[in-house]
């Protein structure tokens, strides 16, 4: 017969000892306090005004074309003033420089005195001006004998051209992003102004001076030298343990790809989230980002090659899994596919926030536990799995959409991660200044890629908006065309060349020619119309018994 174990003796716990005493110190650091009477100083009032104006702008998304015209005219005048200052130097004076100033002033005058432009026209005009300015600066840098600054000027010219091309391709979206970005900047500047001014440290700043204050703060960042070596060991695949870490990387990538691919096939969100947690792809991307701002070209190349190898491995393995599965995966009914083949600006904002959170978590060991949540938010492997699965079905349109989502996340991680590494003190300022040319060149190339991605996302958003508006207008025409019939519209698909309509009901549809005439009058172009009619009938059986 087994005996019950002897009871465990409980240790005597003195709940009044210092070990269990609650913290009774000051909530704020010594000497810290706030003087809310400073809210009524001129500087603080300007901060409040900056906050109010930014909120009003953000709450009014539809901007008038006249406001855009005046803003663009001010920018062109500023450029022309800079050009006049250059012409005062005999060595920089040229016929091309004089012509540039004259053209800028003519354009500015036209915008001021004849502001009859639409938002799209103004955006394209601004884009054309940026392209022209970029080409001019690029031509001048190529003719310059100053080899040290030629690359930087040329890179700046490429950025001008990229932004200009983005404005020409998607003017409304890019201008909207610019307005939102400036509004958010002034909102943050106003908040920082108020916080700084009400503190008891006898400092007063204006909203326009917050950026300079921020730069001074960067120069006095806390030193994280003790954590740098540990961070470098996490991110770079080198040394004696490099091959072993690489084998673990590709092993985890294989498992993550399998989980993601079959999670997409099963349309299971929980399984796809599991793949996000397993995937180690963020590590080489963060390593590339850190190597860029540290001025380490070899490490940047190595981390980039590891990332490219992981990307190719995931896509190839997903193609194989798609061939093994066999049945077609619907891009409409499968929510895991449908949510990843049409990225928008919202996905870019999510990627920016997640990339910043990932870099911050890596640079601070005390917050590294939040990395799994960052991995879920950034979603690197699932879009690549969708790319491979769609390639296995020869659906290149869906595959390109998923790849665009991945590239959006990629550029956000690299650019925002680099910025966060600088701001958190991971990159010493001396190292940053020493390798400034390399940092500008590498991040500039990624910035060009980011601008290209934003332009494509803007074009996609504009196309979707036009299709949505066109579909809504077409549906109203269809209802007028159907009249009092009992037909119901089941589905409508509007593209640039064809309009597909699915009807259901007992009545025969009216002549399609009448609908075609109305559609052509509404959209001012000829569109092929295809009407699918699903007739319905009622069959009754009555029991005579």
Please give the pLDDT value at position 28: 53
Cα–Cα separations (whole angstroms), residue 424 to 187, 217, 229, 289: 22, 11, 15, 14
User: Do 435-545 and 223-427 have the same topology in CATH?
Assistant: no
pLDDT digits (tens, 9 = 90+) for 212-236: 676 666 666 655 555 677 777 778 8
Specify the 3-state DSSP secondary structure of 391.
helix
Q: What percent of the chain has pLDDT over 90?
A: 9
pTM over 0.75: no
pLDDT digits (tens, 9 = 90+) for 173-192: 777 777 777 778 778 888 88
431 vs 224: CA distance, rounded Å = 14
Q: What percent of the chain has pLDDT over 70?
A: 74
pLDDT digits (tens, 9 = 90+) for 56-104: 766 654 556 666 676 667 767 766 776 776 677 777 677 777 887 888 7
Q: Return the higher-pLDDT residue of 339 and 219.
A: 339
pLDDT at 448 over 70: yes
Work out the pLDDT band at 254, boundaries 50, 70, 90.
Answer: very high
Q: What is the mean pLDDT of residues 391-419?
A: 89
Return the top range by mean pLDDT from 288-297, 436-445, 466-475, 501-510: 288-297
pLDDT at 11 over 70: no
Please give the pLDDT value at position 1: 47
The set of long-range contacts for 55-59, using a CB threshold of 8 Å and a minimum separation of 24, is 55/183, 55/187, 57/179, 57/182, 57/183, 58/180, 58/183, 58/184, 58/187
Please give the pLDDT value at position 444: 84
Domain extents for the chain? Answer: 36-192, 223-427, 435-545
Q: Return the higher-pLDDT residue of 105 and 20.
A: 105
Which among 312, 286, 310, 313 is positioned nearest to 300, based on CA atoms? 286
CATH of domain 435-545: 3.30.300
What mean pLDDT, rounded, does the chain reach?
Answer: 77
Please give the pLDDT value at position 391: 93
Top CATH class of 223-427 equals mainly alpha
pLDDT at 409 over 80: yes
Specify the 3-state DSSP secondary structure of 62.
coil
Q: What is the mean pLDDT of residues 302-311?
A: 92
H runs (alpha helix) in 393-435: 396-423, 429-434
pLDDT at 484 over 70: yes
Please give the pLDDT value at position 259: 92
Work out the pLDDT band at 39, boundaries 50, 70, 90.
Answer: confident
Strands 528-535 and 498-505: parallel
């Amino acid at each position: 017969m087994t005996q019950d174990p002897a009871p465990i003796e409980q240790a005597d716990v003195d709940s009044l000892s210092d070990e269990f005493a609650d913290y009774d110190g000051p909530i704020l650091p010594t000497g810290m306090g706030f003087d809310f009477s400073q809210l009524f100083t001129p500087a603080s009032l300007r901060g409040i005004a900056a906050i109010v104006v930014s909120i009003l702008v953000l709450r009014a998304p539809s901007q008038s074309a006249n406001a855009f015209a005046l803003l663009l005219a001010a920018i062109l005048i500023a450029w022309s003033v800079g050009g006049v200052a250059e012409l005062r130097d005999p060595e920089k004076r040229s016929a091309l420089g004089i012509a540039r100033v004259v053209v800028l002033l003519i354009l500015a005058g036209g915008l001021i005195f004849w502001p009859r432009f639409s938002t799209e026209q103004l955006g394209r005009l601004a884009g054309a001006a940026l392209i022209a300015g970029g080409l001019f600066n690029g031509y001048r840098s190529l003719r310059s004998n100053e080899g040290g600054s030629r690359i930087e000027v040329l890179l700046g010219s490429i950025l001008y051209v990229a932004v200009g091309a983005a404005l020409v391709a998607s003017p409304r979206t890019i201008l909207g992003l610019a307005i939102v970005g400036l509004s958010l900047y002034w909102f943050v500047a106003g908040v920082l102004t108020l916080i700084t001014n009400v503190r008891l440290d006898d400092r007063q700043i204006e909203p326009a001076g917050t950026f300079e204050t921020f730069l001074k703060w960067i120069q006095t960042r806390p030193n994280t030298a003790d954590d740098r070596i540990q961070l470098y060991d996490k991110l770079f695949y080198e040394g004696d343990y490099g091959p072993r870490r690489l084998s673990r990387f590709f092993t985890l990538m294989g498992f993550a790809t399998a989980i993601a691919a079959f999670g997409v096939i099963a349309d299971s969100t929980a399984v796809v989230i599991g793949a996000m947690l397993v995937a180690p792809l963020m590590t080489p991307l963060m390593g590339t980002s850190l190597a860029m701002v540290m001025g380490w070209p070899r490490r940047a190349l190595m981390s980039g090659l590891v990332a490219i190898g992981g990307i190719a491995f995931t896509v190839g393995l997903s193609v194989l899994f798609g061939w093994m599965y066999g049945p077609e995966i619907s891009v409409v009914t499968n929510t895991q596919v449908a949510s990843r083949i049409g990225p928008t600006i919202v996905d870019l904002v999510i990627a920016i926030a997640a990339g910043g959170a990932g870099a911050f978590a890596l640079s601070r060991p005390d917050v590294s536990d939040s990395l799994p949540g960052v991995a879920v938010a950034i979603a690197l492997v699932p879009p690549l799995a969708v790319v491979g699965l769609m390639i296995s079905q020869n659906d290149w349109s869906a595959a390109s959409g998923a790849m665009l989502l991945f590239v959006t996340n990629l550029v956000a991680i690299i650019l925002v991660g680099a910025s966060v590494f600088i701001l958190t003190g991971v990159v010493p300022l001396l190292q940053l200044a020493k390798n400034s040319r390399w940092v500008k060149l590498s991040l500039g190339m990624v910035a060009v890629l980011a601008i290209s991605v934003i332009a494509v996302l803007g074009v996609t958003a504009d196309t979707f908006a036009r299709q949505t508006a066109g579909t809504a207008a077409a549906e109203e025409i269809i209802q007028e065309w159907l009249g009092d019939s009992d037909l119901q519209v089941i589905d409508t698909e509007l593209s640039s060349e064809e309009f597909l309509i699915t009807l259901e009901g007992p009545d025969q549809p009216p002549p399609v020619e009448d609908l075609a005439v109305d559609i052509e009058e509404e959209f001012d172009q000829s569109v092929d119309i295809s009407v699918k009619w699903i007739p319905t009938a009622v069959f009754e059986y009555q029991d005579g018994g």
